[in-house]
Structures are given as C-alpha cells and as structure tokens.
Structure 1
Amino acid sequence: MKRTENAAAVVTGAGGGIGRAFALELARRGGRVVCADIDLDAARATAALIGADALPVRCDVAEERQVRELAATAGSWLDGPVDLVVNNAGIGAGGRTVGEIPLRDWRRTLDVNLWGVVHGCHVFVPDLIEQGHGGVINTCSAASFAAAPLMGPYNVSKAAVLALSETLAAELAGTGVAVTALCPTFVRTGIAGGPLIEARAAKLAATAMRWTGWSADRVARTALDAHDKGRLYVLPQPDARLVWRLKRHVPVTYVRTLGLLGRLGPATRLGGR
C-alpha cells in the first residue's frame, strides 16, 4: 500500500495554498485529515470541502504548546496514531536587503517557517518511530538553495528546513519512517500578499506566479507521489531542478551571476542597493 493512501494525516497551514491542496488530495486518496491553521476560519473552509473526514484545528506552529495540543487533538479524533505529518505552514518575507530588514521580521519568519517545522518534527516524529511506519513531508521551497537577493529571512528559514529534513532522513533510515523535502519555485498561492513582503516584491512575485507558477494542486500531487516512492528531494518544476544543478556544479559562478543580475534588474526595482 502506498504511504499516502488512507493516511491518518496532519497538515499545517491547511487553510489555503499548498496546505489546502495537500489536505484535499489526501482526502481524495482515502485519508482522514486534521487541517491545522493559525486562521481557524480558513481551516474550517478547507475541512468543509472535505466533509466528515476532516477536522479543522487552530494552531500557531510557532508555539510548541499549541503543536503538542494539535497532536493530542489529532490522536483523539483519529482514534489512533498519526502516520503522515505535513509541515507546511509558512509565511513570506522579502523586498529588503540584509541590514535593512527589521529584526522583528527575521524573528517572525524564523518562528513560523523554521521553528514551526522543528516543533512539528519534535512532537510527531517520536511516535512515528515507535509505531515503525509513517512519513514526514516538509515544505522547504527552492529558496532553500537558490539564495535570491532581497529574501534573506525566507531563504535562511527554508535552508534550515532543508538541512533539518536531510538530518531527519539520515536519522530515520531503517525505521520505516520516510522523509520528503518539497522544494518548489513559484506556486500560485496567496503567500506574496503577506505583511512581511514589500509591495514591489509582492508585485513581482505575483507576476511570476501568474506566468510561470504551478497550481498548488499539482505541486501537492507531485509531492505525495514522490513520498510514496520514498524520495527525499522533490523539485517539481524544471527551473527548480536547473537552479539545483547550477548551485551544485558551479556554486561560485552561480552566486556571482545572481548578484550581477540583481544589481542590474529586480534588486534595483525593489529598492536594493
């Protein structure tokens, strides 16, 4: 049986975007899904699309206590163990250079994007190990290795999540628990409208999403299919795979070229210096 079929799953950030797509696709595969989101109304809207096989829960993943409460609620509602955890909750941040970005923006981005995943792994993984099966999918983003200018907090948070995913995969080898790191580029979601993204950066991101972005449904299906095959890295789009290869084979040239293009183009328009 495939891991993502009939799964007892918890999805964070399930109120919209990739998180909602994960929840809906897992339900289509016969699963029961706990739809967690900091916005309870959004979580309820996702659960309503699924029906009786979904439970909406409010959870701020930046708070360990709330993630523990989420795990307890999930175990009670599912009347059994969780066997798939999708650590997807995240926020966008961008539009300023390192040194210009307020430290409060750094802290909030790391609290949600990094510590939210740390909390999810810390709370759920021990039970997955004990039961000897299951899986973890962490939404990392191609920002985890692309190092695009004017995205410092987001890049750092996602790079840390990729490192965490790789470490976890090594530690869980042979336990029956699989780990997948999802690294898409542009996905047509509402993340560009977040409060920590400068207006000009948001406009550029929205344009890129519209013209080159994949749908959240397609990204979620691709990630779940890859998880079924036991894949650690999932880079859905061709541009993600291209950047991955460039960073691995010509890293210094890649970074220098990225900096040059940034000074000549988007960085200038975004107010970078």
Structure 2
Amino acid sequence: MFGSRLPNKPSRGAAAVVTGAGSGIGRAFALEIARRGGSVLCSDINLATAEETVALVKELGGQAWAFKCDVSKLNQVEAMAEEAERVLPGPVSLVINNAGVGVGGKPVGEAPIADWKWTLGINLWGVIHGCHVFTPKLKQLGRGGIINVASTASFSAAPLMGAYNVTKAGALALTETLAVELAGSGVSVTGLCPTLVKTNIKANGRIVGESSKLFDRLMDRFGMSPERVVNDALNALDRGDLYVMPQFDARMIWRAKRLVPRSYARGIGLINRFGVSRLH
C-alpha cells in the first residue's frame, strides 16, 4: 500500500502539506494521501484535531505530523513550510490549500464587515499565502502538485453568500492563474469545486437564519462524503485536470452559467425573491 512516488502521479508517494487537516475534507485528504504512500504535515488552527488526524494516519501505517497554523497570517504559513521541510522525509511535493470557513444568511449590505474580513482572511488569503510560499519551492523541485479547495460557490453566485462566493471565486481565479504560470514546469494544479460535503463547515462557521435551516436539510439529503470528494480530486490532479466537480449538480450549474447565463441569473434571482422556504 505504501510505496514510492510514481512518475506523473503527484498524489502517489507525496511529501504533502494539508491545511485544515483537523476534520472534514482536510482530514480525508491526509488519510488518502497516506493510503497512496505519502507522508503528511497536518496543519490546522486547532492543534488537537490535527493531532487526531495524525493518529488516524499512523493507524494506517503512514507518517504524519501535526502543526498549528492560522493560514490568514503569512508568517505562520512560512513557519509551516519550514516545519514541513524539517519533518517530511523529502521536499514538499504536494500542497492542499483546504482550510476554509462558511458564512451566509445575510445579503450584501447587511452581512457584517467583520464576517467579510474573517472569511477573506481564511478562505482567500489562506490560499494566497499557501500558493505564495509553496509555488516557488514546487517550481524549483520540477514536479508535484497543488490542489486549491474552492467550491461551486466560486461560480454559482448563490444569494445570501456574498463573502463566501467572493473568496471561493478568488481562490478559483488564483488556481487558473497558477495553472497558466506553471504550464510546462512539471507541477500540476487543480481547483476542487464541490457542492455539499459532509463536514464541520457549518458548526465552525457563521451561517445564520433560514439559510442555516436550509443548509441542514440539503446536507442531509444531498451531502457527499469527504472521502469520495478527495478521491476524485487526487485522481483529477494525477490526470492533470484543472477543474474537478465531484457532484452532478456542480457540473450542471457550471454548464448553465456558461450556456444560458441570463436564464440562470433570473432563475436564481426568483428563488431568492420568493424565498427558498416556499420550495419545501
């Protein structure tokens, strides 16, 4: 199960850094990378949950280390990179910029600026910091990969999610820019754009009002397991895919926005105008 890195397969035998590795998608990434023969620095703002992930990796027979990091702060991401170089058995070859928070429930103009700043710091600046610090190292290495965890929110423009939409759109734009800049370098770049994934994003976030209730109902009905999402993402990285949308609804939204943008906007606007609660 645990082997050496395979040619052109950045997810195999990687020396990886995963942010937000204490739960959800980040934990699933750490475990799957270990199953693919890699070693992982498990970073999270909550050191205790990162250590839990490390213990799970070790139960699989893999190698992992925990590190506390607030990705909104550049100096902490730089310290994380130094720690990765110190503990991992080889140079960092895979970076998963996953740490994120959920915010929603109020329209632009009513959503507190404090929520905007908090969300931008983690969801967007966290990805910027990760790419800023690790891209030169991967480019010099001449191989490896970066997965930036965006969201279908990066292009769906769902109402009452302004701050979240903006941060995820920025993360996807950065991913696309990196893919162009790193073309031919040996480094693959993939943007992960799921819809609903069964994680702690609501419990750790600021989703309020009717949006909170709707989120719970939709998650119960349609939420995908982090393991499936992560497996799809790593396979996409190995194929060299720029985008990965694990769920059918994400792919349909992607197509609708591009094929019938006016109709899409009108439809979403009607849902917002008349209230999502009337649809149930």
* 1:56 and 2:63 are equivalent in the alignment: no
Counterpart residue type for residue 263 of structure 2: T
**Equivalent residue in structure 2 for 1:126, among 136, 140, 156:** 136
Structure 2: how far apart are the matches of 1:127 and 1:190? 31
Could you tell me how far apart the structure 1 residues matched to 2:124 and 2:152 are? 15
Distance 2:41 2:263 in 1: 44
1:31 and 2:38 matched: yes
Distance in 1 (alpha carbons) for counterparts of 2:173 and 2:277: 27
Q: Is the aligned partner of 1:109 residue 2:119?
A: yes
1:16 aligns with 2:23: yes
Residues 32 and 79 of structure 1: is their aligned pair in 2 closer, same or farther, counting only changes over 3 Å? Answer: closer
Structure 2 counterpart of 1:210, from 220, 223, 229:
220
2-side partners of 1:164 and 1:124: how far apart? 14
Mapped partners of 1:5, 1:194: distance in 2 = 31
Shift of 1:255: 0.8
Select 1:43's aligned residue among 44, 50, 61. 50
Consecutive aligned runs of 4 or more in structure 1 exceeding 3 Å deviation: none
- Compare 1-10 and 59-68 and name the one that shifted more: 1-10
Aligned length: 269
Query: Which residue is equivalent to 1:185?
Result: 195
Indicate whether 1:174 and 2:162 are aligned.
Answer: no
Looking at structure 1, the residues matched to 30 and 205 of structure 2 have their Cα atoms a distance apart, in angstroms, of 25
CA RMSD of aligned residues (A): 1.3
State the Cα distance separating 1:199 from its structure 2 match: 4.4
Judge conservation of contact 1:181–1:234 (CA < 8 Å) in 2. Answer: yes
3-state SS of paired residue (1:27): helix
Is the Cα contact below 8 Å between 2:15 and 2:89 reproduced in 1? no
Q: Deviations over 1:148-195 (max 9, x none)?
A: 000000000000000000001000000000000000000111112234
Measure how far apart 1:207 and its partner are. 1.7
Unmatched segments (≥5 aa) in structure 1: none
For the Cα contact (< 8 Å) 1:93–1:194, is it kept in 2? no
The TM-score normalised by the length of structure 2 is: 0.94
| Residue number in structure 1 paired with 2:164 | 154
Deviates more, 1:189-198 or 1:232-241: 189-198
Question: Deviation of residue 58 (structure 1)?
Answer: 0.3
Measure how far apart 1:265 and its partner are. Answer: 2.5
Contact 2:39 2:89 in 1 (8 A): no
- When structure 1 is superposed on structure 2, of 234-243 and 252-261 the one drifting more is 252-261
Of 248, 261, 264, the match for 1:251: 261
Identity, % of aligned positions: 56
Cα distance, 1:199–1:261 mapped onto 2, change above 3 Å: closer
Once the 2 structures are TM-superposed, how far is the Cα of residue 110 of structure 1 from its aligned partner?
A: 0.4
* Alpha-carbon shift at residue 202 of structure 1 (Å): 2.2
**Cα distance change of structure 1 residues 268 and 192 upon mapping to structure 2, 3 Å threshold:** farther
* More deviation, 188-197/58-67: 188-197
What CA deviation, in whole Å up to 9, does each residue of 1:84-139 have, x standing for no partner? Answer: 00000000000000000010100010000000000000000001001111100000
Shift of 1:263: 1.4
- Cα offset, 1:80, TM superposition: 2.8
| 2:237 corresponding residue in structure 1 | 227
**Is there any run of 5+ residues in structure 2 with no aligned partner, and where?**
1-5
What amino acid is the match of 1:192?
K
- Name the amino acid aligned to 1:163: A
CA offset at residue 79 of structure 1? 4.1
Q: Secondary structure at the match of 2:246?
A: coil
1:225-254 CA-partner distances (Å, limit 9, x unpaired): 111100000011000000000001111211
**C-alpha displacement of 1:203:** 2.3
Structure 2: which amino acid aligns with 1:159?
A
> How far apart, CA to CA, are the structure 2 residues paired with 1:42 and 1:50?
13
Q: Structure 2 CA distance, aligned partners of 1:83 and 1:206?
A: 37
